[in-house]
Structure 1
């Protein structure tokens, strides 16, 4: 099976005053199409930074990232944004819903950006799948945390992404709600055949994926099959 994400010799540093802080160093791994993959590690190990680099939201200092057959280092910012809109889905810890849009409108945004005439129809279908068919016209402020994350999950799948990045998707949810959201995420992912990459500190969640990459101090400790 072909790889959908390949990371080679990745390094990322940040300047902190006069000091240079190395956040990631010597990062190498591949993820195959349709694979479920998690990145785990303690707080400050570089997990979220790595996810941002893999998705083309940030640029490394050195090394290469190949996403969906394209070398991200050869693209400018607009080209990277275009690739993300076409091929990538996101679920964030803090939901990142647009407060002035209803649940239905939030899910439809990626499709409308692509000019998809079926935006509303697909959005209704996805919200129904995540158990929110009676919440189409509710605004984020009228939804519970679990409902907001369900809207975010529906939105992530709306543009039928090739790869979906989830950054601590249960981080702001209680345990029971978090488990329900994870089940939905996994079910939708299996049905769509999407590659799923989850950044989490929750080892129980990581065990639900096929492989786990363990980070510590910005370096890979090991990558293991579950």
Structure 2
């Protein structure tokens, strides 16, 4: 670990709140379609649509909004009122302007680590929305590089850490998603540090790996610097 030179950070729900706004919008979506289906059924059908559409729309608010519209059409057998569609579109547009609330310990952790490591932000989602959130967060100056990607795979991390660091074997990825942030980074040859968030999209859930030396778990980012120091020893 004395050769650890690069640390990658996820953005949404690792550095700032994100899933909270999706949950609020989904609750509003359920209210709009309350006459057609129970909330549990709507949530299940919406998740199916989101997963089905990832290959077409990618991750982020725009794909989520289109999936809500598609679900509304399906659940009503094509009879969804036009004004309901309009409200869904408006809800999606409102999400694109939600405030950026950084999570605890983010600022001081990045400020301390940027002096000793190359920091790379690796996030997926809508390009404009991620750029907006990074700008409003005030965290941009801490990062040596920013990668906004369509998906996160082992090759994503291998490429990013080779481009901005000394390769994945000398890098650590920190994030709240086991599926997207941690497991593929480990598969690429790096360290994966899991920082759970109380709200996690079902698609991002995965089992914690057992007996994997390069897997670590911390409860908050306040534990990251002590973790790195312990691993060095």
Normalization by structure 1: what TM-score?
0.31
Instruction: Judging by fraction of residues, say which structure has more helix.
Output: 2
Structure holding more strand per residue: 1
- Please report the TM-score for the alignment, with normalisation by the length of structure 2: 0.31
